[in-house]
Structure 1
Amino acid sequence: MTDTPQKTSSGGLNKAHVAQFMARQGILVAFILFIIVFTMANPRFLAVDNILGVIRSSTIIGVMALGVTFVVISGNLDLSVGSMMSFSTIVVLDLHDKLGPLLAIPAMFGMTMCLGAFIGFLVGYLRLNSLIVTLGMLSAIHGLTLTYSGGKNMDIADKEGTWFDVFGQGVVFGLPVPILIFGLLALVLGLLLARTPFGRQVYAVGGNGTAATFSGIRRARVVFLCYLMSSFCVAFAGMLQASRSMGSQNTVGQGLELEVLAAVILGGASLMGGSGAIYKTVIGVLILGFIQNGLLLVGLEFYVQFVVTWVIIILAVWLDVAAKRGKLWSPIA
């Protein structure tokens, strides 16, 4: 079945086809309408510098969303990425002055991925509920971050004598380095998910874990690796955040888990598992970023973004469920 509405023999649009089209492409239709409205309200919305600024500001959310895409497709959730990003940011800033950036970066990656491995062990091998585990880890990692930092914020002492700022502030071939890192990660992880046996196993586990197990797929191992992938991306995001500001509050990632999840769902990944793609997640990240930017350009306060993000999550989940049943409305309603 195509994604465009089909006409009936009488020339009219079939209601079922329209419903299925809206269920599959409703978010994109809404995004196009947002662009039209924002451009009419403020012509600067489509300016090149604004577009690059939006993409650059979305890279941290985007990098985390790439890893969470693996987790969601495998049929699980990860609500710990926000607090884990705070942890990785604080750790790399602290170790930068103690060990230097060349050692601080791999040390931070190792510590962050240990947290991801622990979550993967609990969800994958012990079969604990991912929502409960990651919700608990959200608080636990936040407490770990405060303990590590002594409740204080972190800053790099010698900001002029380090090359660490290249990750968050550098420019190559006229493009900000964070955008290049985001694009490269999206390309590599997209190929991993779409073109490798591991990627097919992720889809199989998320689509039907029991059938995947009987097919010889080691479900626990796949889930474990998905959480390890998620923590790897979080470490990248923490490095970008630390490099961008060369200092950070110890709560810098608080609340970002909802934005990350919203971006992944907007990209078409189903909360029920088994569907989604990296390139679609990138589209979801950009949709969320441009909508938030448009709200600011039309004069709305930044805190309106929180309400809009909630509305977008509800809309995306509704359209996801509607796409599976072929109707926008429940037949029981």
Structure 2
Amino acid sequence: MADFIKEPGARGTSPAPAGRFSRAEIGAFLARQGILIAFILFMIGFTIANDRFLDPDNILGVVRSSAILGVMALGVTFVVISGNLDLSVGSMMSFSTIVVLDLHDKIGPAMAIPAMFAMTLCLGAFIGFLVGYLKLNSLIVTLGMLSAIHGLTLTYSGGKNMDIADKEGTWFSVFGQGSIAGIPVPILIFALMAAALGMVLARTPFGRKVYAVGGNGVAATFSGVRRARTVFMCYLVSAFCVATAGLIQASRSLGSQNTVGQGMELEVLAAVILGGASLLGGSGTIFKTVIGVLILGFIQNGLLLVGLQFYAQYVVTWVIIILAVWLDIAAKRGKLWSPIA
């Protein structure tokens, strides 16, 4: 074994005794795995602070409460890997929740559910058309749609919250309140969708096109990949996941405020980035997105158990996003600190 290790970016050789890692190697490792190390430290700290943290009921409750966020994050993962953003998912979830609750009493749950999915998919298709075919900036488009869909929700509901009239006599509650073999249905839906979409992204031609478009859109186009269609389909996948999340949310409470999804786009994006998906596109997996969702869920739960108020979660979420983006950029350049000011 060599006595010295050459440090990337350094002049000549840097004296690093055998068996030790260079600073660049340590920096690259922390850039790739730093968020997991931080998560482990958080878990250890929360467990010491409160012995209820690792209680099976608490763990099951955290995963269940994270299912809605997780389902939305699965779809946004496709969008981010394709090199785009979707900041409209929070408002779109509010819309789908209000619509399915309103139609439940008017046409029955059997018709309300597909009608809500169709309306939500139309919104996703419109965003996909603007970003994919008209080549508009995804940040601007989805930021504008965030306000537009919020206004559409308020217009549809007349500014009122929605409730199901007969809460005791409907099977609609099974999606949010039911359980199978002791496992809550929201967790099962989240797990099944994660498995299915993970296979689509990793094992199908469409999944490979998503990575190609996000990695190098120009090269993908010259390779015969229909870039516009791929981006369009990614937004449809995202809209489908949002509609599913809206279904779970409406079924869980059988009533909802018309702003129920407001602000969730920030948490969804945080979970996706925490899972390793690059804001530059071309990288990320469904499995790691699930890990990112769980990281957020357990950190928020731990903060509550140690006595911090719920609004402290917003500050922590912001810090986590900054940390995740920093580690993402650091992983690209192979070191935590840039030598250029």
C-alpha separation in 1, matches of 2:59 and 2:125: 36
* TM-score for both structures, normalised by structure 1: 0.97
C-alpha separation in 2, matches of 1:18 and 1:290: 27
1:179 aligns with 2:187: yes
Give the 3-state SS of the residue equivalent to 2:166 in structure 1. coil
C-alpha separation in 1, matches of 2:187 and 2:111: 24
Find the counterpart in structure 1 of residue 338 from structure 2.
Answer: 330
C-alpha separation in 2, matches of 1:62 and 1:250: 21
Q: How much does 1:10 deviate? A: 3.0
C-alpha separation in 1, matches of 2:323 and 2:91: 26
Q: How much does 1:8 deviate? A: 4.8
Find the counterpart in structure 1 of residue 42 from structure 2.
Answer: 34
- Give the letter aligned to residue 164 of structure 1: F
Show the 5 A alignment for 1:50-129.
50-129=58-137
Find the counterpart in structure 1 of residue 233 from structure 2.
Answer: 225
1:289 corresponds, among 290, 297, 300, to: 297
Find the counterpart in structure 2 of residue 255 from structure 1.
Answer: 263
Larger Rg: 2
User: Percent identity, aligned pairs only?
Assistant: 82
Give the 3-state SS of the residue equivalent to 1:45 in structure 2. coil
Q: Deviations over 1:38-94 (max 9, x none)?
A: 000001101100000000000000000000000000000000000000000000000
Find the counterpart in structure 1 of residue 328 from structure 2.
Answer: 320
Find the counterpart in structure 2 of residue 143 from structure 1.
Answer: 151
Q: How much does 1:9 deviate? A: 4.1
1:210 aligns with 2:218: yes
Give the 3-state SS of the residue equivalent to 1:93 in structure 2. helix
Q: How much does 1:331 deviate? A: 1.5
- Give the letter aligned to residue 176 of structure 1: P
C-alpha separation in 1, matches of 2:266 and 2:19: 43
Find the counterpart in structure 1 of residue 280 from structure 2.
Answer: 272
Q: How many residues align?
A: 328
Q: Deviations over 1:247-296 (max 9, x none)?
A: 00000000000000000000000000000000000000000000000000
Give the 3-state SS of the residue equivalent to 1:43 in structure 2. coil
- Give the letter aligned to residue 134 of structure 1: T
C-alpha separation in 1, matches of 2:111 and 2:339: 59
C-alpha separation in 2, matches of 1:226 and 1:13: 41
- Give the letter aligned to residue 57 of structure 1: S
C-alpha separation in 2, matches of 1:10 and 1:59: 47
Aligned-pair RMSD on alpha carbons? Answer: 1.1
Give the 3-state SS of the residue equivalent to 2:87 in structure 1. coil
- Give the letter aligned to residue 51 of structure 1: I
Q: How much does 1:14 deviate? A: 1.4
Q: Deviations over 1:129-178 (max 9, x none)?
A: 00000000000000000000000000000001100000000010110000
Q: Deviations over 1:92-146 (max 9, x none)?
A: 0000000110000000000000000000000000000000000000000000000
Q: Deviations over 1:203-256 (max 9, x none)?
A: 000000000000000000000000000000000000000000000000000000
